[in-house]
Amino acid sequence: MSLLEIEAYRLAFDGFEGTATVLDGIDLRVEEGESVGIVGETGCGKSVLARSLLRLNPMPPARVLGGAIRFAGDDVLTMTPPALDALRRGGIGMVFQDPVTYLNPVFTIGQQMAEVLRAHAAGTGRRPEKAAIRARTVELLRQVQLPEPETLLARYPHTLSGGMRQRVLIAMALAGEPRLLVADEPTTALDVTVQSQVLALIADLIARMHLTLLLITHDLGVVGAVCRRVVVMYAGCVVEDAPVDRLFDAARHPYTQGLLAAVPDLERPDHRPAGIAGSIPNLRSPPAGCRFHPRCALAMPVCRERRPALVEAAPDHRVACYAATP
């Protein structure tokens, strides 16, 4: 059994101009101990998918059209509220993009960490002592390699740099000893030098704590730095799923290839990045067949009619494209 199994999951948002099928048949498995990156551009549904794991999408306007999400064998979509609480507290830890908005400006770091720890303890029926909470807070802050965690406890979020705030949020996500850490664009708001430090920290945590990681990002470079496997999403569908090295060296899907060709490379200044012509489809009336076909140079008649299934193109490498699979 995989730790996380998503099967044919479909989610729609209802709006004035109609219903947008934001996730259309997502199939994804994450094994215990794996680090998986989900890559895609604005509007591909990657963040909505991440929020679906904890049922954080407001319903309405969101509506599940079908499929299943199982975490450690339990169906997340039909979970009772107490079970969902337990999942949010301990099963899945989440780190979001913007570290500023997820910390409350009027409480100190110590108070906010203690609050999280108390909530976790309450979930298991224990009533921890103050000293124990403090000790655990310090331990967690040390784990994310924040210097002088004792003095940090009394500080307010605005006195920390962006990188330090993101570390605090990672520490909070780790407080419940989650089996799966979901990080949604954890370094997008950070400077490059800080980004590389935070990514190194995440890579280090995975190695030391045997965490399972699901990293959501738009940046292929970020995935390359910490993930073993990459899932590429386009317009609400998974288009390719491959080990990192394979994806970078032998991407099969035209969209993935386009994405790789669009990134400028500092070490190859003569490589001329090329954008992908056209723009993402309107999800209220997506193109029939493959959702990428209007922008695809390899589009064949069949691409306009039938949606390609995600099939194994090579060992451990799945692609949803007629042109890429014989």
Partner 1 sequence: MRAAAARAPRGRSLRRLRFVAWVVGRNPPTMLGLGLVAVFLLLAAIGPWIVPDARDAVGAMHLGSKLLPPSWAHWFGTDEMGDDILTRVVLATRTSLWVGLTITGIAIVVGTPLGIAAGYFGGRVRSVIMRATDMFLCVPGLVLALAIVAALGPGILHGVVALAIVWWPGYVRLIEAKALPLRGEPFVDAARTMGSSDLRILLTHILPNCVSPLVVKASMDMGMAILAAASLGFIGLGAKPPAPEWGAMISTARSYMPDSWWYSLFPGLFIFLTVLGFNLLGDGLRDILDPRSARG
Partner 2 sequence: MTPLLATQALHCSFARPHGARVKAVDGVDLALAPGEALGLVGESGCGKSTLLRLLLRLQAAESGTIRFAGVDVTRATGRALAPLRRGVQAVFQNPHAALDPRASVFAAVAEPLRIQARLSRRALADRVQGLLHEVGLPAEFLWRYPHELSGGQKQRVCIARALAPGPKALLLDEPTSALDVSVQAQIIDLLAALREREGLAFLFVSHNLAVVRQLCDRVAVMNAGKVVEQGAADAVLAHPQHAYTRTLLRAVLPPRPRSLQGSTAPGQEAAR
3-state secondary structure of 274: coil
Which one of 218, 294, 307, 325 is in contact with partner 2 (CB under 8 A)? 218
Cα distance between residue 26 and residue 97, in whole Å: 23
SS (H, E, C) 125-185: CCCCCHHHHHHHHHHHHHHCCCCCHHHHCCCCHHHCCHHHHHHHHHHHHHHCCCCEEEEEC
Maximum distance among all alpha carbons in the chain? Answer: 68
Q: Does the footprint of partner 2 cover residue 106 (CB under 8 A)?
A: no
Q: Does the footprint of partner 2 cover residue 61 (CB under 8 A)?
A: no
Task: Please state the separation of Cα 310 from the chain's center in Å.
Answer: 20
Which one of 105, 130, 192, 326 is in contact with partner 2 (CB under 8 A)? 192
Cα distance between residue 300 and residue 292, in whole Å: 12
Stretch that binds partner 2, among 4-12, 83-91, 117-125, 189-197 (CB under 8 A): 189-197
Considering the complex, state which of residue 189 and residue 244 has its C-beta at the smaller distance from partner 1: 189
Amino acid in position 93: G
Which one of 98, 219, 284, 298 is in contact with partner 2 (CB under 8 A)? 219
Q: Least distance (Å) from partner 1 to the CB of residue 59?
A: 15
267 binds, among partner 1, partner 2, none (CB under 5 to 8 A by kind): partner 2
Cα distance between residue 283 and residue 13, in whole Å: 10
Pairing of strands 35-39, 229-234: parallel
Q: Least distance (Å) from partner 1 to the CB of residue 276?
A: 24
17 binds, among partner 2, partner 1, none (CB under 5 to 8 A by kind): partner 1
Query: Which residues of the chain form contacts with partner 1 (CB under 8 A)?
Result: 14-17, 61
Q: Tokens in use for 218?
A: 């738009």
Q: Least distance (Å) from partner 2 to the CB of residue 207?
A: 11
Considering the complex, state which of residue 20 and residue 232 has its C-beta at the smaller distance from partner 1: 20
Q: Rule CB under 8 A: which residues touch partner 2?
A: 41-42, 145-147, 158-164, 167, 191-197, 199-201, 203-204, 218-225, 244-245, 248, 258-260, 262-267, 269, 272-276, 279-280
